[in-house]
Structure 1
């Protein structure tokens, strides 16, 4: 609306300068029109430069994610690639659903739109917990009121992205965080293992699990079969992560 107002004011200014014969009325009206035009231009500058008439809207979404590794592995895996050196920005690989066959790369910057790309950042954290999640917080400029929208809207100026921050949170004990190079290294190591080595690894795991389950039952003699099974699954994931970490080292 403000653009149309400026057009109307410009027309009125021309009329006052050319049609008013009385000098006092002509100059008084012209000054008023010029002031109104300058005020309108100042409002447009304030809106486009300092976001006058806009306010920040923050939205947060969160959902569960799944391992980038094999669904047969008891341990979860997150594959990371840092963008630059010590930038704190990452491309992260994981599955969005439990039934997905392949992991997808997330938060890949759009090199065709660098302005938008620098406003987006993704990182990860390892915490105590049982499920891996991704939480995204998005901030945008939106109209402060319907009045501001009516007067200041020009094209699709509002709803501009301010920032988008995504944090992938994975359980520290049951998920392994690796780079793409380390993931390839693990795949090669697993593939090169002989049947004897695989059997020895499985036996070591079985013995450790039996000992931990026995200790758990001593502490929790009233534990149900379901609780024991849940404990075994957790410990299997923990020990698998430890085994994989040793292989990487």
Structure 2
């Protein structure tokens, strides 16, 4: 609508100064049209430059996420890959459904849409919670009211992305957060660790029974035991 106003005021300014003979009416029509034209151009400039007439609106979405590791172990796993150096911005690997056969990498840069990609970030945080989740905080431009939408709604600006930040919250005692290199190290060491654990159980039948009972009665505590042993044996740090 603002573009239509600018065109109309430009035409009326031209008409007022060029075709009205009476000096008073020429000054009134031409001057008023020029003033309105100037105001319209200034408002459009403010809108383009500073998103005048719009406001940032934030929405939050929470999703449960599932391990990127094997499904037959008691503990969870989140894989991370930092984008750049010391950016604290990560591509994260996890399952979005516990029935998924394979985990999927999320938040990788999209080279075909770099402008949008630069507005999106992701990281992780260890928590005391027992369940892993992903919280996505999205900020978008929205018109303040219907009048502003009618006035400036010409460029598909409604819902334009300002920023998007995703954070994975993972239980610190029952999940591992690993780089790809650490995950490969764990995979390579797993057979030896499993053999060592089985040998320990055979040599200590009473403790073996306690461990098996713990696995059945309290899977969370058993997962904590697994995670602590892996960190200790492979030197993984928080």
Shared fold (TM-score, shorter chain, > 0.5): yes
How big is the alpha-carbon RMSD for the aligned residues of Structure 1 and Structure 2? Answer: 2.4
Q: Shift of the alpha carbon at 1:213?
A: 6.8
Q: Shift of the alpha carbon at 1:128?
A: 0.6
Instruction: Specify every segment of 5 or more residues in structure 2 that has no aligned partner in the other structure, as ranges.
Output: none
Identify the residue that residue 198 of structure 2 maps to in structure 1: 199
Find the aligned partners of 2:205 and 2:75 in 1 and give their Cα distance: 13
Q: Shift of the alpha carbon at 1:197?
A: 3.2
Find the aligned partners of 2:205 and 2:48 in 1 and give their Cα distance: 63
Residue 109 of structure 1 pairs with residue 95 of structure 2: no
The one of 223, 228, 233 aligned to 1:242? 228
Q: Shift of the alpha carbon at 1:195?
A: 7.7
Residue pair 2:133, 2:170 contacting (<8 A) in 1 also: yes
Residue 25 of structure 1 pairs with residue 32 of structure 2: no
Residue pair 1:205, 1:239 contacting (<8 A) in 2 also: no
Residue 135 of structure 1 pairs with residue 135 of structure 2: yes
Residue pair 1:53, 1:148 contacting (<8 A) in 2 also: yes
Residue pair 1:109, 1:117 contacting (<8 A) in 2 also: yes
Find the aligned partners of 1:234 and 1:206 in 2 and give their Cα distance: 21
Residue pair 1:186, 1:247 contacting (<8 A) in 2 also: no
Q: Shift of the alpha carbon at 1:209?
A: 7.4
**Which deviates more from structure 2 when the two are superposed, residues 27-36 or residues 159-168?**
27-36
Q: Shift of the alpha carbon at 1:152?
A: 1.5
Q: Normalising by structure 1, what TM-score?
A: 0.86
Equivalent runs, 1:170-185 vs 2, <5 Å: 170-185=170-185
Equivalent runs, 1:4-153 vs 2, <5 Å: 4-153=4-153
Query: Secondary structure at the residue paired with 1:112?
Result: helix
Find the aligned partners of 2:177 and 2:72 in 1 and give their Cα distance: 17
**Which deviates more from structure 2 when the two are superposed, residues 107-116 or residues 163-172?**
107-116
Instruction: Specify every segment of 5 or more residues in structure 1 that has no aligned partner in the other structure, as ranges.
Output: 215-227
Find the aligned partners of 2:33 and 2:224 in 1 and give their Cα distance: 75
Q: Report the number of matched residues.
A: 234
Query: Secondary structure at the residue paired with 1:36?
Result: helix
Residue pair 2:141, 2:157 contacting (<8 A) in 1 also: no
